[in-house]
Structure 1
Amino acid sequence: MLDFLEKSLDVRQISRSLGVVLSFAPGDLIFREGDRPTCMYVLLEGEVEVRRGQVVIETVGPGQALGIVSLLDDEPRTVTAEARKACQVAALDARKFRFAVEQVPHFAWWSMAELAHRLRSTNAAL
């Protein structure tokens, strides 16, 4: 993520206050490829592996997002997200995500940076 965003915004605090905090044990699936989207997730703590089929795209850590693309276009998930370590995520539905984007300008920039990062990671892995 961009350094200036990390210094000016604690997305975990915002996400925790807006979303529903969920806990996952190692090996738990947060979502599967093909699932319908209901929310996006911000990793509060822990580690999540993102893969398409058997190809690992990346490992996501605290302060990173999962599931933004599917939430935006309401298309099925294109990847599977599995907890590698015990983790907590803040789940934001479309309404809460839109609120954060509209009311917290840095959240919008953070979201775009996350989308760009995910695109680059996916291109590199495939």
Structure 2
Amino acid sequence: MNDLSFPTSSHIDFRQLARGLGTVVNYASGDVIFRENDHPNCAYIVLTGKVEVSIRGKVIEQVIEGKTFGIISLIDRKPRSATAKAVENSEVVLLDSRQFRFMIETTPNFVWYVLGEVVDRLRATNSAL
């Protein structure tokens, strides 16, 4: 049996590429980035700082530099299932659906990065339940 070694989200850093493609926004500590049930219009990559993701007031995860959030709602176009809030001053890249799709289709390993992030989010949510 061959050991398939898939790149994981912890081994890949797309911050510079995302910075050049998306829109960079600065959030102050305490700023809400989106709320549960908001319409999804982009995915996010944390360049600097930290973002807290919560569901019905329960913290699910803290997203650190180089990690993403908001991907699932952008993919399935359903309302946000969580609230995201900066817990320290943060610089975040916003990728709209067109930019996100462009990165998926043209950037080697970006799909593995996204898949790893989705799996990490699923595991974090399961652990929090």
Is the pair's TM-score, using the shorter chain for normalization, greater than 0.5? yes
Q: 1:102 to 1:115 in 2, by over 3 A?
A: same
Q: Flag the structure with higher helix content.
A: 1
Match of 1:14 among 13, 17, 28: 17
**In the alignment, residue 48 of structure 2 is paired with which amino acid?**
E
5+ residue gaps, structure 1, are: none
- Counterpart CA distance in 1 for 2:119 and 2:96 is 21
2:98 corresponds to 1:104: no
Structure 2 equivalent of residue 114 of structure 1:
117
Q: Secondary structure at the match of 2:91?
A: strand
Offset at 1:14?
1.1
Contact 1:43 1:61 in 2 (8 A): yes
- Counterpart CA distance in 2 for 1:40 and 1:54 is 21
Match of 1:84 among 75, 82, 87: 87
Offset at 1:105?
2.2
- Counterpart CA distance in 2 for 1:120 and 1:36 is 24
Contact 1:5 1:106 in 2 (8 A): no
Offset at 1:17?
0.9
| Alignment of structure 1 residues 1-126 onto 2, 5 Å | 6-7=10-11, 9-126=12-129
5+ residue gaps, structure 2, are: 1-5
Per the normalisation by structure 2, the TM-score is 0.91
The total of aligned residue pairs comes to 124
String of CA shifts for 1:57-115, please: whole Å, max 9, x gaps: 01110011110000000000000000000001000000000000110121111000000
Q: What percentage of residue pairs aligned between the two structures are identical?
A: 46
